[in-house]
Structure 1
Amino acid sequence: MDNAILVGLSRQMVLRREMEIIANNIANMDTTGFKVESMMQKTEPGAPAVTQGGPKPVKFVAADGVARNFGQGGLTLTGAPLDMAIEGKGFFQVMDPNGPRFTRDGRFTMDTTGRLVTQAGLPVMGDGGGEIIIDPEKGEVTIGGDGTISQGAERVGKVGVYTFADAGVLEKAGDNLFRNGSNLAAEPAANASVRQGFLEGSNVKPVFEITRMIEVSRAYEQAGRMIDSGSDLSRRAVERLGKIQ
């Protein structure tokens, strides 16, 4: 197979993956706390298909991971007393059977035992690492900017908000959750504020993502035309050689 065809195919494979990421961004434009993603690319040397008269090695296009933008999304007032949004850098910590997870999705509720939990029933962790228990009979719940939860004059807990020196250590864990994929410890977020009765929206910019989708689609078609052209040149070369013989 011709080198140009292999390079074109490598480009198309990366573009296909990039299109999947863009489509996922658009699909999550209304997901609470969702953070937009983008494909990172690199050139990767590889053995050429044709070893005579061509560059050694050939540089192919390869994926280089997914970058995630943790920038602030817009806040929407819901008025629900257990809805929370983080203003600034930081994550809520919740606990699932596989360990601690982190999220910006503050759609919290109370289970039958009074625990503060996510929509999936995972307990929300307090700043001391324990679960937060709310007694419905003690009255209205108020949440301060530092995450302190009170009922009347009684303090019942404090929602932990954590940050990382490098947010790139966070990996997607499904259900709008992230896991810490390194040994880097989470630290209390010093400059974050908790807003009661608000939810943070996605930071996806739909117009920008649709523009990117069009650009990727055109690049994919262009790579396809390059492959077709290379294949056609190879075919004609073989035909001419056959006639000479």
Structure 2
Amino acid sequence: MNNGIYAASAGLLARTQELDLAANNLANANTGGFRGERVSFKTQMMAASQNSFTRAVSSFGVLGTSRTDFSQGNLQQTGNPLDLAIEGSGFFAVQAPNGVQYTRNGNFHLTKTGALVTAQGFPVLGDKGAITLPQGDAEIGPSGAISVDGAVAGQLKLVDFDSSVPLTSLGNAYYSAPSAAATPANKLTLRQGSLENSNINPVESAVRLIEIQRNAEMMQRALNTFHTEFNKVAAEELPRV
């Protein structure tokens, strides 16, 4: 019975953690450049038991690790010359209040002083620091070169990371990483006048969320049953002591 209680408790904890990740993915399905989190489970086998509920959860999944799925999101044309989509591997670098952060959300705009900033107001970085553009028609090439009315105006700082470098999700499609790990991105193409959508399929995510909720409910029922049986056995055995 103890094995059954442990299995149900561990399974319920894993489903609760998975539920949080799935809910966050679904909530960010419409966040530009967002990357979904995926989970992996480690299967643990418990010794066989005659108890039906123990058999039901004798093979259970314990949450192993979560990882970010950096697969490409669909590109959507907007016609806004300051909307930029990355096609390929890489990130924009921006100056957040607490340091340099990285994002694939290229929903940028100009301030009154000509500073190129994100939707949150973070300055977008170029190879010489924060980018400020003069008035005029901006053109941004596939490699991030910026010109205004035909004159060179800057170069976007586009970076990439080795797959072994851990990126920390900060929310709103922003990530942090050791600054020394960033290298110039050379496997991407910028698409001016487009934005990259998240790589989350809302329908699939909603269905998965329901499945996880049902699995969690099953584990909770099993756990309640084990507790009931444990209390029953305790009530029968304690008077004999």
Question: What TM-score do the two structures reach when normalised by structure 2?
Answer: 0.85
- Report whether the alignment pairs 1:169 with 2:166: yes
Equivalent residue, structure 2, for 1:132: 131
Equivalent residues in 2 for 1:206-245 (5 A)? 206-241=202-237
Q: Offset of 1:239 from its aligned partner?
A: 3.7
**Alpha-carbon shift at residue 243 of structure 1 (Å):** 7.0
Task: List gaps (5 residues or longer) in structure 2.
Answer: 45-58
Give the alignment's TM-score, normalised by structure 1. Answer: 0.84
Contact 2:160 2:183 in 1 (8 A): yes
Secondary structure of the residue aligned to 2:187 is: coil
Q: Deviations over 1:188-217 (max 9, x none)?
A: 111200111100001101222123212212
Structure 1: how far apart are the matches of 2:202 and 2:148? Answer: 40
Between the aligned partners of 1:19 and 1:170, the Cα distance in structure 2 is 22
Quickly say closer, same or farther: Cα 1:132–1:184, change in 2 above 3 A.
closer
Give the residue type in structure 1 aligned to 2:216. Y
Q: For 1:27-38, what aligned pairs fall within 5 Å after superposition?
A: 27-38=27-38
1:151 is matched by which residue type in structure 2?
A: V
Please name the residue that 1:11 is paired with: 11
Q: What RMSD over aligned residues (CA atoms) do the two structures have, in Å? A: 2.6
Give the drift of 1:10: 2.3
Deviations 1:92-148 (A, max 9, x none): 00011221100001011111221111112211111x241222111xx2111111111
Shift, 1:61, TM fit: 5.9
Larger deviation: 142-151 or 161-170?
161-170
Indicate the larger mover: 218-227 or 98-107.
218-227
1:71 corresponds in structure 2 to: 71
> For structure 1, which runs of at least 5 residues remain unmatched after alignment?
45-58
* Aligned-pair identity (%): 35
Q: Is 2:193 aligned against 1:197?
A: yes
Partner of 1:47: none
State the alpha-carbon separation in 1 of the partners of residues 188 and 173 from structure 2. Answer: 20
Deviation at 1:161, TM superposition (A): 1.4
Measured in 2, the distance between the counterparts of 1:33 and 1:87 equals 11
Structure 1: distance between partners of 2:122 and 2:21: 27
Partner of 1:169: helix, strand, or coil?
coil
Q: Could you tell me how far 1:81 is from its partner in structure 2?
A: 1.1
Does the Cα contact within 8 Å between 1:11 and 1:60 map onto a contact in 2? yes
Shift of 1:187: 1.0
Alignment correspondent of 1:90: 90
Matches within 5 A, 1:94-113: 94-113=94-113
Query: Residue 129 of structure 2: SS of its match in structure 1?
Result: coil
Contact 1:161 1:189 in 2 (8 A): yes
Distance apart, 1:183 and its partner CA:
6.6
Using the alignment, how far apart are the partners of 1:242 and 1:170 within structure 2?
54
- Structure 1 residues 200, 238: closer, same or farther in 2, change over 3 A? same
Q: 1:167 to 1:80 in 2, by over 3 A?
A: farther
Q: Please give the alpha-carbon distance, in whole angstroms, between the structure 2 residues aligned to 1:7 and 1:152.
A: 66
SS in 2 for 1:18: helix
